[in-house]
Amino acid sequence: MRTKVFLIAAAAVFLGFALPASSAAQTGGNAGPRTADGKPDLHGIWQALNEANYDIEAHVARPAMALRPGPYGPVPAAPVLELGAVGAVAPGLGVVEGGEIPYKAEALARRKQNQDDWLSRDPEIKCYLPGVPRATYMPYPFQILQSASALAFVYEYAGAVRNIFLKDPGPAPADSWMGQSVGRWEGDTLVIDVTGLNDQTWFDRAGNFHTDKLHVVERYTCTSPDVISYEATIEDPNVFTRPWKMSMALYRRQEKNAQLLDFKCVEFVEELLYGQYRKHPLNK
């Protein structure tokens, strides 16, 4: 934990960020404080409070993500049966505007395959970097570091980070898990254009997916000192019939000692990924 805090502080100093938001902020009306250059001050630790990481579409509660047929309806698959209620899926109202993702017919078939093979396919299980926009609404906090000349997002999950370019460097040199992010201000809204994303991430645990043609445009707008209205417009012509949007609120963590802690989960899945290669594998 101390290591993570130190690294964030060191990065902030290196990039010219002022960590205490109040020291450089000026009151900016009902929408919250502003930085010295008049922009909305997004400094802080934020978190989504919804069920989107289970399924970004509206969904009812169910026994588990991985299911099998039962005598009176689906029951948890054998590998997750003993998780009981801990492995159940919480219901959610959904964050997709219009309610339904506009999949192409062939892409819906792949989503069904993802759902059927969730235990082996969901990249979250293997602690892969979450990608954009999933990093925003996973059940972990993230921190925004902001100055007049630099902007960065640091996520607790898997130690993921994003440097937000404020001057467009041109096309991403290669596809990556978190892509390339280029930010600009439209009035009081921070707009981030995300390209160069690989095809190895999902939108949620429900198998909603994309290809490497994914293009995401995010919009962050302060609606009060402690709430950000978040929107992400999704475009992938290989998977969807048209662009679509998700939206949700992000809330500032209120603890006096709020900070990101270490959750570098790679080491936690070593046994899952490589245990079979032990000279004497452990019993399953």
What is the structure's pLDDT at 23?
Answer: 36
CATH 2.40.100.20 fits 2-58+93-277, yes or no: no
Nearest 5°: the CA angle 86, 228, 52 is 30
Predicted confidence at residue 36, as pLDDT, reads: 86
Report pLDDT for 16: 55
pLDDT of residue 78: 95
Backbone angles phi, psi at 244, to 5 degrees: -145, 170
Q: What is the DSSP string of 76-116?
A: E-GGGGGGGGGGPBPPB---BTTSS--B-HHHHHHHHHHHH
* 246/52 Cα distance (integer angstroms): 10
Structure-derived torsion over alpha carbons of residues 185, 191, 195, 199, reported in degrees to the nearest 10: 160
- Cβ atoms of 53 and 136 within 8 Å: the answer is no
pTM of structure: 0.88
**H-state helical runs in 166-222:** none
Question: Do 229 and 223 contact (CB within 8 A), yes or no?
Answer: yes
The pLDDT score that the predictor gives to residue 27 is 40
DSSP H or E segment with residue 250: strand 244-252
Consecutive sets of 10 residues in the chain, 284 residues long: mean pLDDT of each?
A: 50 50 41 86 96 98 95 94 96 97 97 96 96 98 93 96 96 97 97 98 98 98 96 98 98 95 93 88 80
Per-residue pLDDT at 149: 86
Secondary structure (3-state) at 276 = helix
